[in-house]
Structure 1
Amino acid sequence: MATAWDRQRAALREEITETARTLFVEKGFDATTVDEIAQAVGISRRSFFRYFGTKEDVVLGDLTGRADALARALAARPADEDPWTALRTAMLDSRSETFTDVRSDLAITRMMRDTPSLRARKFEKRQYWSEVLTPLVAERITEGDATVRAAAVVAAVLACVDIASDVWAESGGTADIVAVYDEAVAALRD
């Protein structure tokens, strides 16, 4: 059970995130400083870094937590389900974020794609996704080198997620991101 301190800490983390997102959308990622975010929230720079290791981490959110949620959802899928189907269903089951503010979500998605430091940090954090998902996918592979095949499937799935996000952003948020993901996977599996 979360303590009052835990709830207060989570609320401040959310306030920092929302304030930073607003500033990033208004001014751009590179033009927004940690000091501006801290000042807008009413905290010190030092307090900011108690909640986030880098400015990039504010944009990327908890990618590690999302990977863990996806791994739990994948582990809960039927053992006889093929890796592609299991991963797709697990991703849909573990989605904790929804696109609620299209303007802001589009800006953040484009920012993540177009800002080199964000892109690098995202791929650095995505390595963790591969590390936790590959062994779970390998359990579903019965032929060849399961580890190699599982690593390839996970890498391909993550690439398809990125493609779907890019197409969604380029469409101005009108593309069905799940349908685009399915189309990208179908291209690989044909």
Structure 2
Amino acid sequence: MATAWDRQRAALREEITETARTLFVEQGFEATTVDQIAQSAGISRRSFFRYFGTKEDVVLGDLNARADAVARALEARPADEDPWTALRAAMLDSRSETFTDVRSDLALSRMMRDTPSLRARKVEKRQYWSEVLTPLVAERITEGDVTVRAAAVVAGVLACVDIASDVWVESEGTADMEAVYDEAVTALRG
């Protein structure tokens, strides 16, 4: 059970995140400084770094939590479901906290795609996804080298997610991400 201190800390972290994201959308990622974020959030620069290791983590910080949510959803899927179907369903089941404000989500997604430091940090955080999901997918594979096959499935799914996101960004948020993801998976598995 979370203590009052934990809830207060989480609320401040969320406030810093929202402040930073607003500045990123208004000014651009590179043009926004940690000092501006701290000042706008009413905290010190030092306090900012108590909550976030880097400016990139403000944008990407919850990727690990999202991976954990997908892992929980994957564990809850029927054991006899094939890995591709189970992962797709788990990603859909766990996405309730994402894509809540299309304008902001579109701007942040474009930023993640177009900013080299964000792309690099995303790759680092995606390694965690592989580490968390691969063993769960391996449990669903019954032939061949299950570890290699599971790692390949997870890598394929993440690549298809990235493709769907890129198409969504290019379409200014009008593309159906699920349909694009399904088309990418079909191409990959074909």
Q: TM-score range by the shorter chain?
A: over 0.9
Who is 1:139 aligned against?
139
Who is 1:33 aligned against?
33
> Which digits, 9 at most, give the CA deviation of each residue in 1:62-96, with x for residues without a partner?
11111111111111111111000000011111114
User: What RMSD over aligned residues (CA atoms) do the two structures have, in Å?
Assistant: 1.0
Identity of aligned residues (%): 89
- Give the TM-score normalised by structure 1: 0.97
Who is 2:56 aligned against?
56
- Give the TM-score normalised by structure 2: 0.97
Who is 1:130 aligned against?
130
Distance, in Å, in 1 between the alignment partners of 2:143 and 2:165 is: 32
Structure 1 position 78 matched with structure 2 position 90: no
Task: Say how many residue pairs are matched.
Answer: 190
Distance, in Å, in 2 between the alignment partners of 1:97 and 1:111 is: 19
Who is 2:150 aligned against?
150
Distance, in Å, in 2 between the alignment partners of 1:5 and 1:135 is: 34
Superposed displacement of residue 2, structure 1: 2.1
> Which digits, 9 at most, give the CA deviation of each residue in 1:119-161, with x for residues without a partner?
0000001001001111111111111111111110000000000
Distance, in Å, in 2 between the alignment partners of 1:17 and 1:141 is: 39
- Partner of 2:185, secondary structure, is helix
Distance, in Å, in 2 between the alignment partners of 1:111 and 1:97 is: 19
Who is 2:100 aligned against?
100
Structure 1 unpaired stretches of 5+: none
Superposed displacement of residue 61, structure 1: 2.8
Structure 1 position 110 matched with structure 2 position 106: no
Superposed displacement of residue 52, structure 1: 0.6
Distance, in Å, in 1 between the alignment partners of 2:35 and 2:55 is: 10
Distance, in Å, in 2 between the alignment partners of 1:65 and 1:98 is: 12
Distance, in Å, in 2 between the alignment partners of 1:166 and 1:57 is: 20
Distance, in Å, in 2 between the alignment partners of 1:92 and 1:99 is: 12
Who is 1:18 aligned against?
18
